[in-house]
Amino acid sequence: MRSISMTDENGQALAIVAAPIDEVGATERAQFFTTRSIKKDSKVHALYLAISMCDLTTLEGADTPGRVRQLCEKARHPVPPDIFNEAAKLKDFPPIPSVAAVCVYPAMVSVAVKVLAGSGIHVASVATAFPSGQSPLSTKIDETRYAVAKGADEIDMVINRGAFLSGDYQQVFDEIAAVKEACGTAHLKVILETGELGSLDRVRLASEIAMHAGADFIKTSTGKIQPAATLPVTLVMLQAIADFYHKTGKKIGMKPAGGIRTAKQAIQYLCMVNETLGAEWLTPQLFRFGASSMLNDILRQIFKEATGRYYYDRVFSLD
């Protein structure tokens, strides 16, 4: 175990412990969660919870105001109410909840804010030269401030992986701290892009730096690089959050993003969160899924529980 010496945003010495990770053990432990089987009412409860934790995302060069408005309507009403009411009357199922947030590029924030006004759904924006992170700090700060000024209450930033992989941990820390300050009251999710870090040891160190620098959430991936979220990577990040909480008393959120496509996978992640951090983290305030494609499969599973049959995929709106 080694200690990384840095300086915090107040000029005070800061030592961050780089805990070594047993990759074989972490992988074996993560695999354990794929064997879980949750049935009946507990399964339905988990699926409803997963919907409430979803961040729906559109981050394409072809994004238009119309596409963003469509995604925001799906965030508010994941399935058309008349379709659900017809199915749910077979059982006493509660209404399908709205999702946690919609994430868009800064230029589309004002569109999302207008559609989602009064819904309680958060508007998140990627910033800091997403997805590469390869822009001057001044540009990253300007982009963050712009998104917040337009109404974003969550900012998803990417770390400078080039600086991290070069061993310039101080630059990584300073950029996160500066973006956190630029966020004002908006929450900051720090994306590590774990698929580019190369080892679980580096994932753990990047998690520690992000949390000490002011992250409200740590997030696995942009969704643009493979591999994205995996169970072993998420387990390492959850354990880092647990250790940080025990040391500081501060609860940091977690967001696996990219590659989570099925309801079964969602339940595996929820089991992992519960057993690593506890039930207190099973809330959208502390855990999110960056998995837009997962939502329709969750809806299919809920309808299966309500009706005994699977619905045709196109019953649900398409992203």
pLDDT tens for 5-15 read 999 989 999 99
Tell me how crowded residue 146 is: count the other CB atoms within 10 A of its CB: 16
- At 2 the pLDDT is 79
The pLDDT of residue 97 = 93
Structure confidence by residue, pLDDT tens digits, 165-196: 999 999 999 999 999 999 999 999 999 999 99
Q: Active site includes 247?
A: no
Query: 3.40.640.10, 3.40.228.10, 1.25.40.10, 3.20.20.70: which CATH number matches 23-315?
Result: 3.20.20.70
Point out the catalytic residue in the list 174, 180, 255, 297: 255
Residue 247 has pLDDT above 90, yes or no: yes
pLDDT tens column, 134-171: 999 999 999 999 999 999 999 999 999 999 999 999 99
The C-alpha atoms of residue 282 and residue 49 are separated, in whole angstroms, by: 8
pLDDT at 87 over 70: no
Global confidence as pTM: 0.94
Active-site residue, selected from the candidate residues 74, 153, 219, 297: 219
pLDDT band at 290 (very low <50, low <70, confident <90, very high): very high
The answer, yes or no, to whether residue 307 has pLDDT greater than 80, is: no
Work out the pLDDT band at 234, boundaries 50, 70, 90.
Answer: very high
Tell me, yes or no, if 114 is annotated catalytic: no
The answer for 133, left when phi > 0, alpha when psi is -120 to 50, beta otherwise, is left
Q: Which two tokens stand for residue 63?
A: 């994004």
pLDDT digit string, tens, across residues 260-285: 999 999 999 999 999 999 999 999 99
> For the chain, what are the domain ranges?
23-315
Please state the length of the chain. 319
Which tokens hold the place of 98?
């709205």
Confidence category of residue 319, pLDDT binned at 50, 70, 90:
low
Q: What is the mean pLDDT of the chain?
A: 93
Q: Is 219 a catalytic residue?
A: yes
pLDDT for res 167: 96
Residue tagged active-site, from 153, 156, 216, 297? 156
Closest listed residue to residue 155, CA positions, set 108, 190, 107: 190
